[in-house]
Structure 1
Amino acid sequence: MSLVSLKDVWLKYRIQFKEDGRHFSEDFWAVKGVSMDINKGEVLGIIGENGAGKTTLLNIIAGMLKPDKGKVEINGTVSAIMEIGAGFQKDLTGKENIYLTSSLFGLTDEEISAKYDDMVKFAGIGRFINAPVRVYSTGMYMRLAFAIAIHVNPDILLIDDTFAVGDIYAQRKCIKKVFELKERGKTIIFVTQDIEMSKRLCTRGIFVRDGVIIREGPIDKLCAYYMESVGDKNGIAIVQKGHLGTIFNNGKLALRWKDRTITRGLAGHATMRSLDREYLSTTATWRVQKTTTDREIIAVGRWPDLNVSEYWRIVFLNEKEFIWEIGIDVAEEVFIERFSASAIFIDDYKSWFTLEDKTDFPDKFAHLLEWQCSTIDDSINRVIGFRGDNNMEEPPPAIIFDRVQDNANMACHVGNTGSEISGRAIICQYAPEHSDGKYTKGRYRFFSAKVRVFEDSEKNQLELYMDNARKIMQESKIIRKGLLNLFCMENKVEIYWQDRLITSGIGLNTKFRCQDKNYSAQDGRWNINKENDAYIVITISWDNDPGFVQIWKLRLKDDHALLWEINMDIRDEIKIRNKQVEIILDKEYERWLTLDEKGDFKRLSRQGNSVVLNKYINNCVGVEEASNNGLVLPGLLFNHDGNFPAASYLSKIDNDEPATKLRYLEIDRKENFYTSPGMHRYFNGELKVTADKDTTIRSTEVFDKGPAVVNQSVALYAEKKHNRTSLVFDHGKARIFWKGLELTKGLGLYTSVLTAGMWYDSSQAFWEVRKLEKGRLLAIGHWPWISMTQSWSFSVINEKTILWNIEKEIWEDVLLEKEQVNLMLSDRYKEWLTNKRIKGRFPEKFTTHNGFFWDRLWCGDATSTVGTKKSRLKKKFFSRKILPSIIFGFSPQCQARYCVIENTDDLFQSRVLQCELGSGETRDSGKNDYFDGQIRIIR
């Protein structure tokens, strides 16, 4: 049975505050959910900083405080040496206090008299034993209290940091007595700030912080842990996963393995040199940031005389692996001559190794302060590890640093520190890109490494890890051009700008469909060939040998542009569809742009994963410079040469690895549907890096928008001299104007198709204006994802009538579940009507966007005609500004099924008159009349 047992103990104080003349009180929980057991004969040390709750715990055990929650069991008598003089009656003499206090422990007068002389002798206060205790010094108080506590023979002795008072002789006398009680098997609970005393006296300890037991275990290991984590609380964070733990303490990172600290001295730290002055990370003022996970530490440090803040990020990947990243945020222009990240380990490590070599550390530390380090060749310094002596009883785990970013200006050094520290060191030193060391406003990452530990029993796993790292180094290729770096490896491309990774996941990818099978470059076999320092060729093949290979040519044009050319080498005639090119970027990008539009990705919460563009046929899409939690990412523009009609998409990926995606989709056309043997161009484009938002927006102007006849916006008029009614065709949608007022809204006149569960509309197609003459226009649209073209013919007959004819051609069997011809009108129309003498009002509110259904108000058969009733633009009775009535009808010969009136959702906020066509069956290839209708404008 335990002598002391605490089960989920909580205790609070009611604290009174006075602020700005206002009095109020708050509850402060001094002890939170503490559970512990102390056995007979055990000496337990409670350590922690001031205010941690150590003394409160002793008061609960002593019975001086009653917990608000939880259970306390004490099996035996308790004597406490706590607050000096506590329990003494100050007007009584020392002798009188001896008899009074001892009687409270149940001793009779005879028993007290028998022990009295021993108590007085131990207290050593002479004649003052007969003086009131109010005249005693603190040392006399301590000696008398100690004398009483040890002579009443308690089962449990509580000591609260009393050794710090009194003279040296008295302290030594008390300490000696405590050790005697320990040898006699007395149960002692000991609180002190003296860590060395704790290690000498106690066998086990608990570490208390903010009323919570942070850690418990053997006292020597616990004290080492405590010393690593003591300091300014704002700059301390601890992550422990399994046996591996990290303690970030105000610019220093200590590593622990199985309750043992394996770093030494400054442990992991950073040094920066600016204007001939050294800035050590441990001299900065640090603040640990809040994170959403217990696997991550983010901290920011600042110096009072430097306009730079240093950020550290530690992220645990599992119980044996974490990422360590260090960089700076520059508020204004600064000069940095050198930056280094270092880690110092215990001297139990006997050798170090790289992908090619293994070297023993020198046995002796040759100098007191000077370090002995070797520089590791740049070709092998990506992975560096330390090993202990296998003959040791408990060797430290093997530990490796696998740098996760390539940096041409990084030099690595490994060796011994001076004898003052006696540790093993690894130093990664970074030299600036520019000789003057100038850094402008922004974020710069200098160091990023994956730290991995291997137990002594995991030798095979370590060898496999090193073998895989060697394979990656052999297969990967790196090209550089100033600030722009590209790192190719098996099935993955990483792009870095100023040593900041801007891609995510696979980085670059292609997708297409061939012979009814989907292909992705990510699933292929990559053969990487570095032609020179700025040019890499990747040949991609697939296991099923489909009769073609894809060839990527990646060339750094300068330090702001990557040229990407893709070709297909084909053996036999094949059918390739849905050619896509993707760039996967960091998730932190918040704003997007095209040649004609820009917006915020935050709206995707209402639109799904993809941006809804007014114009999908774009030569260029991109993202603006992003800044999140101090991380600055450059603006990017992705364009293609425009020789092949293509749609562009921007989206957010929301899965295990969130990201931002820029996507190119070539529009399938009948003339390029089948590809003959030989080398054929698949894609040719450029990824351009821009330094700031203004540059990003201006840079869109440098890209050619393509031939004027393609995708142009053109207008038709009934009579130029009146110009009352006009129709503007604009990239797969049309707008109607009457007397200068637009009657349409959003997509205007457009068509839509549902196939394979996905909706596509005509604004996503590639359009060519084939004929434009007085009052008449002919345009051909090639649809993405569907082997279909539509031919639209508009005729503005007069100011009241617009004719709309559509022909459709399909050159491959396809299942069209729904086909629609739509007229999207202004929400200023308030009432709708039909030729069936049915009418109604449009709802004032729009439903929330769900990406699929709108609010259907009426549905009739194919003989119906639908429209909107004229509407005043102002509420004044005599207002002359009126939207005319609109009637939408179609001939009986077209393939109409229903006539529909709908209210859109809150994304478009419009009224829709619609003709639904088709039968939901598979359409055979061929050309046919599709729709023949008219729009009438009635004043």
Structure 2
Amino acid sequence: TRGSGLHCSFLFDENWHDLTSCDWQVKKISEKEMVLTFDCQSLALSQIWLLNYSKEDSLNIKVEAKLKKDLVLKERFLGLQLNDEYKSWHTCYEKGDFLNERYINNIAPTRLKDSKVAQVVLNPQNNNFQKVSFKSKNAIDTTILSIYKRNLGQEASVNLDFSSIIPESRASLAVGYYPCFEAEITLGKDTVDIEKPVLATEVGILGVDLKLVFDRGKGRIFWKHKELTEGLSLYTSVCQGGIWYDSYQAVWSINKIQERYLEVRGDWPYVPISQIWQIQLLNDNLFEWKVEIDIHQAVSLEIMQANLMLSSEYKNWLFPDNRIPCIFLDEYTQNYDILPFRFWYGKPTRAGLTVTGRGLPQIQFSLQSKDEFTRGVIENTDYLYSARLLQYQKSGVNKLFPGRYPYFEGAIKINGK
């Protein structure tokens, strides 16, 4: 390890509180088990750690918090800071390396296509170090993985964090005990391959050829068993205070599921909102998507979006007014400036936003509600997803007060044979 090593931090009143500000006690239970108690007087909170070895190369960690007074804890994470001797990483969905890191204020973040994963494995540069597996045993729907490097001056560290997704509505905690994290660290060359998790909130609605799978805040669309979506798929996103928050960051629950109807609810972290999605398959190639937003406390949202991210196999888009086919360029920004890769922006038409691709069904994404302030967008994503994006967005939203509001109502039609 390096720096803070294995650590756990809580955010309270805009300040992070970690183990360095705590008084601590150690109680040895056996040769393979001990209890650590970290008492943070400034926070009126204690961290209680149970550590044990289930086998020689694995350390099990359980972290519990004891609150001595009512607190609002909006963020917490369990982190592992390691020596800069690891060259690459992999999860169950993707892999990468640390060769081309870009530092921003001493941090070089690794962008992940899918951060809702339970395990990451690091591979060392040489045989002097062993593989490291860091595995969260918390519910996968409520945990986000972060991978980044930190510049420590003369050296650097590799950092792995598992952060809890805590909706604003669940951040207030009363006096008592709360389980926080359960994890496992495994060392060795024979680290077990990562298995894809079984997801509690992955459900779908089916037609003859059309299928939509709801996956923790994104809707994946399949036609004759081929996935047409990419990355975040069907999703929503809001901008508040210049920061973007998308539906895949929320905690979701299933309200109602039928053969051709799905209703789900997502509670956002960091912003005081929830969304209710209603998705209904109207016929074998058309489904309706209706979104409502619950505001829990007054908030200003600069931009609200409804998005459909599609495979780069779609090569053409149709100009919304006169249906002239246009070509997508297979170019994707390496930075955050997406405007040069935007092909169309304007007032939506009845025809909607349409794309085509050889051997693929035509997709038509249309707006059903009438709104003078909503605009349509056709663009490429950045290099991470390298996908096509059809989008409806509303800018300059006024301050919203507690209550339920309509957010979006549209339809997606799949024209295939």
1:590 alignment partner, SS class? strand
How far apart, CA to CA, are the structure 1 residues paired with 2:210 and 2:303?
Answer: 31
1:931 aligns with 2:376: no
- CA 744–686 in structure 1, closer or farther in 2 if over 3 Å, else same: closer
Does the Cα contact within 8 Å between 1:615 and 1:764 map onto a contact in 2? no
2:86 alignment partner, SS class? coil
Partner of 1:866: 352
- CA 766–635 in structure 1, closer or farther in 2 if over 3 Å, else same: same
Partner of 2:115: 616
Partner of 1:729: 214
* One-letter amino acid of the counterpart of residue 414, structure 2: I
For residue 22 of structure 2, the aligned residue among 510, 517, 525 is 525
Give per-residue Cα distances to partners, 1:126-184, cap 9 Å, x unaligned. xxxxxxxxxxxxxxxxxxxxxxxxxxxxxxxxxxxxxxxxxxxxxxxxxxxxxxxxxxx
* One-letter amino acid of the counterpart of residue 861, structure 1: K
Q: Runs of 5+ in structure 2 lacking a partner?
A: none
- CA 711–777 in structure 1, closer or farther in 2 if over 3 Å, else same: same
1:767 aligns with 2:244: no
Residue 666 of structure 1 deviates from its aligned partner by 1.4
Residue 838 of structure 1 deviates from its aligned partner by 6.7
1:624 alignment partner, SS class? strand
Question: How many residue pairs were aligned?
Answer: 409
How far apart, CA to CA, are the structure 2 residues paired with 1:765 and 1:852?
Answer: 25
How far apart, CA to CA, are the structure 2 residues paired with 1:834 and 1:924?
Answer: 37
Partner of 2:228: 743
- CA 566–746 in structure 1, closer or farther in 2 if over 3 Å, else same: closer
How do 1:802-813 and structure 2 match up within 5 A? 802-813=287-298
Give per-residue Cα distances to partners, 1:37-75, cap 9 Å, x unaligned. xxxxxxxxxxxxxxxxxxxxxxxxxxxxxxxxxxxxxxx
Residue 747 of structure 1 deviates from its aligned partner by 2.3
1:827 alignment partner, SS class? coil
How do 1:583-594 and structure 2 match up within 5 A? 583-594=80-91
1:711 aligns with 2:201: yes
Residue 934 of structure 1 deviates from its aligned partner by 0.6
Partner of 2:239: 754
Give per-residue Cα distances to partners, 1:90-134, cap 9 Å, x unaligned. xxxxxxxxxxxxxxxxxxxxxxxxxxxxxxxxxxxxxxxxxxxxx
- CA 896–567 in structure 1, closer or farther in 2 if over 3 Å, else same: farther
Does the Cα contact within 8 Å between 1:512 and 1:580 map onto a contact in 2? yes
- CA 506–815 in structure 1, closer or farther in 2 if over 3 Å, else same: farther
1:845 alignment partner, SS class? coil
How far apart, CA to CA, are the structure 2 residues paired with 1:857 and 1:866?
Answer: 15
* One-letter amino acid of the counterpart of residue 541, structure 1: C
Residue 676 of structure 1 deviates from its aligned partner by 1.0
Partner of 1:156: none
Give per-residue Cα distances to partners, 1:339-397, cap 9 Å, x unaligned. xxxxxxxxxxxxxxxxxxxxxxxxxxxxxxxxxxxxxxxxxxxxxxxxxxxxxxxxxxx
How far apart, CA to CA, are the structure 2 residues paired with 1:591 and 1:711?
Answer: 30
Q: Runs of 5+ in structure 1 lacking a partner?
A: 1-502, 874-880
- CA 869–549 in structure 1, closer or farther in 2 if over 3 Å, else same: closer
- CA 788–509 in structure 1, closer or farther in 2 if over 3 Å, else same: farther
Residue 603 of structure 1 deviates from its aligned partner by 7.3
How far apart, CA to CA, are the structure 1 residues paired with 2:205 and 2:216?
Answer: 15
How far apart, CA to CA, are the structure 2 residues paired with 1:529 and 1:715?
Answer: 49
Partner of 1:601: 97
* One-letter amino acid of the counterpart of residue 97, structure 2: F
1:763 alignment partner, SS class? helix
1:505 aligns with 2:3: yes
Partner of 1:203: none
- CA 639–915 in structure 1, closer or farther in 2 if over 3 Å, else same: same
Partner of 1:678: 176
How do 1:286-685 and structure 2 match up within 5 A? 503-514=1-12, 516-522=13-19, 524-531=21-28, 534-542=33-41, 545-594=42-91, 596-602=92-98, 605=101, 609-618=108-117, 620-628=118-126, 630-642=127-139, 645-656=142-153, 657-669=155-167, 672-681=170-179, 683-685=180-182
Partner of 1:884: 361
Give per-residue Cα distances to partners, 1:214-243, cap 9 Å, x unaligned. xxxxxxxxxxxxxxxxxxxxxxxxxxxxxx
Give per-residue Cα distances to partners, 1:286-316, cap 9 Å, x unaligned. xxxxxxxxxxxxxxxxxxxxxxxxxxxxxxx
How far apart, CA to CA, are the structure 2 residues paired with 1:886 and 1:568?
Answer: 49
How far apart, CA to CA, are the structure 2 residues paired with 1:602 and 1:589?
Answer: 8
- CA 577–893 in structure 1, closer or farther in 2 if over 3 Å, else same: farther
1:907 alignment partner, SS class? coil
Residue 614 of structure 1 deviates from its aligned partner by 4.2
Does the Cα contact within 8 Å between 1:862 and 1:896 map onto a contact in 2? no
Residue 524 of structure 1 deviates from its aligned partner by 1.5
Which shows bigger deviation, 833-842 or 786-795? 833-842
* One-letter amino acid of the counterpart of residue 716, structure 1: I
How do 1:827-846 and structure 2 match up within 5 A? 827-837=312-322, 839=324, 841-846=326-331
Larger gyration radius, structure 1 or structure 2: 1
1:914 aligns with 2:386: no
Residue 662 of structure 1 deviates from its aligned partner by 1.7
Residue 849 of structure 1 deviates from its aligned partner by 1.9
Does the Cα contact within 8 Å between 2:79 and 2:160 map onto a contact in 1? yes
Does the Cα contact within 8 Å between 1:615 and 1:763 map onto a contact in 2? no
How do 1:23-102 and structure 2 match up within 5 A? none
1:857 aligns with 2:347: no
* One-letter amino acid of the counterpart of residue 185, structure 2: K
- CA 528–585 in structure 1, closer or farther in 2 if over 3 Å, else same: same
2:2 alignment partner, SS class? strand
- CA 635–767 in structure 1, closer or farther in 2 if over 3 Å, else same: same
Does the Cα contact within 8 Å between 1:832 and 1:868 map onto a contact in 2? yes
1:887 alignment partner, SS class? strand
For residue 821 of structure 1, the aligned residue among 287, 295, 306 is 306
For residue 695 of structure 1, the aligned residue among 176, 191, 206 is 191
- CA 906–770 in structure 1, closer or farther in 2 if over 3 Å, else same: same
Specify which structure has the bigger relative contact order, considering alpha-carbon pairs within 8 angstroms and separated by 6 or more residues: 2
Does the Cα contact within 8 Å between 1:724 and 1:799 map onto a contact in 2? yes
Give per-residue Cα distances to partners, 1:491-523, cap 9 Å, x unaligned. xxxxxxxxxxxx111112333333x33222055
* One-letter amino acid of the counterpart of residue 364, structure 2: I
1:898 aligns with 2:375: yes
How far apart, CA to CA, are the structure 1 residues paired with 2:140 and 2:225?
Answer: 37
* One-letter amino acid of the counterpart of residue 711, structure 1: T
Give per-residue Cα distances to partners, 1:419-461, cap 9 Å, x unaligned. xxxxxxxxxxxxxxxxxxxxxxxxxxxxxxxxxxxxxxxxxxx
CA RMSD of aligned residues (A): 3.1
Does the Cα contact within 8 Å between 1:777 and 1:795 map onto a contact in 2? yes
Residue 773 of structure 1 deviates from its aligned partner by 1.0
- CA 773–606 in structure 1, closer or farther in 2 if over 3 Å, else same: farther
Residue 913 of structure 1 deviates from its aligned partner by 0.9
* One-letter amino acid of the counterpart of residue 848, structure 1: T
TM-score (norm: length of structure 1): 0.40
* One-letter amino acid of the counterpart of residue 401, structure 2: D
How far apart, CA to CA, are the structure 1 residues paired with 2:230 and 2:64?
Answer: 41
Does the Cα contact within 8 Å between 2:167 and 2:270 map onto a contact in 1? no
Give per-residue Cα distances to partners, 1:773-801, cap 9 Å, x unaligned. 12111222233433333222211111231
1:884 alignment partner, SS class? strand
How far apart, CA to CA, are the structure 1 residues paired with 2:140 and 2:211?
Answer: 32
